[in-house]
Structure formats: structure tokens, C-alpha cells
């Protein structure tokens, strides 16, 4: 129980940053060793600050939990969904190509956009932007993969939000 608490996010009950780094270390080593695909999605809730400002932090917490549950239901046992920080989440997809990861990301984006978020009779519109990257042989390690997905996430944000960029 104590170990589970050290690798789970208290608010969303999904993996936390510590668990993410442990998982990524293993998967990057495996990808490098066997030459297998490894994709990473970085997902950020669009205009999250305005949700907190307009509806309050309890609604913001509800949105975080609901997004986490929606996404986590789509994740298979060999994959990992983790809260990266604030309103950012990461999905690690072993043995996945860039095309497969983009399709997966688009499925998550549409799922969240189409979901009805209702908290204390307030209906909140929620969308996400997603950056997609794959591990490349010239990357030094997990930090490079995270940085690459983060750059693509910010491209999605700059180009209008509620989109997937690879």
C-alpha cells in the first residue's frame, strides 16, 4: 500500500511522475536494445486556468479526475498513463509506430471533446491538445523523448488547440 502511494497521483489515482520515469527508463532501454517502436503522447487540458477561474478549483479537480479516468480506461496493461504535472498527462505506448500513436491520440482527443463534464450542475466544455513523438536512435534517453513530445504539444497549442501534432 505504501509503495502504491509513492507511484500514484493522489488526486487522479493514476501513475505519477515517479512511476512515469521508472516505466520510461525500462521502455527506452528495451526499445534501444531490440529496435522496437516506442511512442509518447503528451496531453494538456486546453484553457484549464479559465475552468478554475470561472467554475472554481473543485470543478477543476473534477475535470482532472474525469479526464484521467476517461484516458486510463483506454490504456492497455503494457502501456502507461500518468499525470505529468498540473493539467498535463502522458501516455507511453511501447511497440507503437508514429502513425499508430497519432491514431491513438486522436481517439483520446475526440473522446474528451465529446464527453459531457458536469459538476454541481455546471456543464464544462473540455478539450485537449496532444503532442506525439517516438523514440529515435539518436535520442540520449527518456528526457529527449519527453522534450520532443512537449515541443509538439506546444505546436498544437500555438496552432489553435484541441488538436494532435506529431
Q: Give the three-class secondary structure for 126.
A: coil
Distance CA 35, CA 43 (A): 26
Max Cα distance, the chain (Å): 52
Local structure of 40: helix, strand or coil: strand
CB neighbourhood size of 72 (10 A): 18
Q: How far apart are CA 97 and CA 117, in angstroms?
A: 31
Active site residues: 87
β-bridge partners, 45: 128
Amino acid at each position: 500500500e505504501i509503495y502504491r502511494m509513492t507511484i500514484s497521483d493522489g488526486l487522479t489515482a493514476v501513475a505519477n511522475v515517479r512511476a512515469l520515469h521508472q516505466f520510461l527508463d525500462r521502455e527506452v532501454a528495451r526499445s534501444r536494445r531490440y529496435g522496437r517502436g516506442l511512442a509518447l503522447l503528451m496531453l494538456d487540458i486546453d484553457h484549464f486556468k479559465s475552468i478554475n477561474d470561472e467554475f472554481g478549483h473543485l470543478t477543476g479537480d473534477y475535470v482532472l479526475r474525469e479526464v484521467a479516468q476517461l484516458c486510463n480506461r483506454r490504456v492497455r496493461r503494457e502501456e502507461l498513463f500518468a499525470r505529468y504535472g498540473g493539467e498535463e498527462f502522458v501516455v507511453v505506448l511501447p511497440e507503437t509506430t508514429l502513425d499508430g500513436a497519432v491514431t491513438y491520440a486522436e481517439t483520446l482527443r475526440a473522446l474528451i471533446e465529446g464527453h459531457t463534464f458536469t459538476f454541481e450542475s455546471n456543464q464544462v466544455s473540455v478539450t485537449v491538445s496532444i503532442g506525439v513523438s517516438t523514440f529515435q536512435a539518436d535520442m540520449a534517453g527518456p528526457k529527449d523523448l519527453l522534450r520532443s513530445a512537449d515541443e509538439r504539444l506546444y505546436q498544437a497549442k500555438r496552432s489553435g488547440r484541441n488538436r494532435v501534432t506529431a
